[in-house]
Homo-oligomer: A and B are copies of this chain.
């Protein structure tokens, strides 16, 4: 491993493979504040072109491993962070370049399974080719959810019961590599996240409420997000952003609980302000769902 010293072989610029949403830019800004040079590898179709333009960047299609390897080497990047929403692509959406062609049988196998299976496989491919995969929490620990509440609202005793049940459910479903989020209200599980993602799941809960299928009153129920047991925390860590808070409020829930120290909060001040306006609590809890 000695020839892989970051400063000697490829330099210490940070490559950020950049999906959708504001999280990649929060990570980039945090790394830059720490004095690191950052190069965005923006994924066409996902990354926001206007925001990407403010940083050194290269655009590429998903699957262009060869191009990524070449450009990252030229830019002196050995450390790689893969961050931002990428709705699971279909295999047909990949545009493998020549270098990636020999990887296709392996990619086909990775596509047969859940998100973790796919992401950790892609992570391993990067590492086998001399890159070092870092989690956003390693380059920007200040973006991690702290223990306790953010904002002015606090969970009630009933809310805590829903949090515990939600965390237990997510632990039980971890081996099945489903979603990272669930909604529990008055001890009733209203939704478990699938490939639709958190925002769509919250919209579903709002629909259920409009259709009269939820018996709990407005302002009861919790969105719970947690890392899957055994998930590589460097890939696709759970995150909450302004949209999550707005979706939680629209679904008529009381608040949001995430595991402290493993969940990314893109814009903490803005999120606290939105939560306070919507009277939504946001709390960082222990991995077993208990109060910190």
Contact = CB atoms under 8 A, between A and B. Distances in A.
Interface stretch (A57-65, A120-128, A138-146, A175-183): A175-183
Nearest to A169: B176
Q: How many copies of this chain are found per oligomer?
A: 2
Interface string A194-226: 111000000010001000111100000000000
A194 B195 CA distance: 15
A102 to B, nearest CB: 21
A168 interface: yes
A195 B172 contact: no
The size bracket of the interface on A is 35 or more
Interface in A75-93: 87-91, 93
B176 A212 contact: no
Contacts of A112: 186-188
A176 B162 CA distance: 11
A218 to B, nearest CB: 12
Contacts of A274: none
Contacts of A111: 186, 215
A215 B172 contact: no
Contacts of A172: 172-173, 175-176
A186 B215 CA distance: 35
B89 A215 contact: yes
A191 interface: yes
Contacts of A192: 173, 178, 192, 194
A212 B90 contact: yes
Interface of A: 87-91, 93, 111-114, 165, 168-169, 172-173, 175-178, 186-192, 194-196, 204, 208, 212-215
5 contacts: A88-B213, A89-B215, A90-B215, A112-B187, A168-B176
Given A90-B214, A176-B189, A192-B194, 11 more contacts: A90-B212, A111-B186, A111-B215, A112-B188, A165-B176, A169-B176, A172-B172, A172-B175, A173-B192, A189-B194, A204-B204
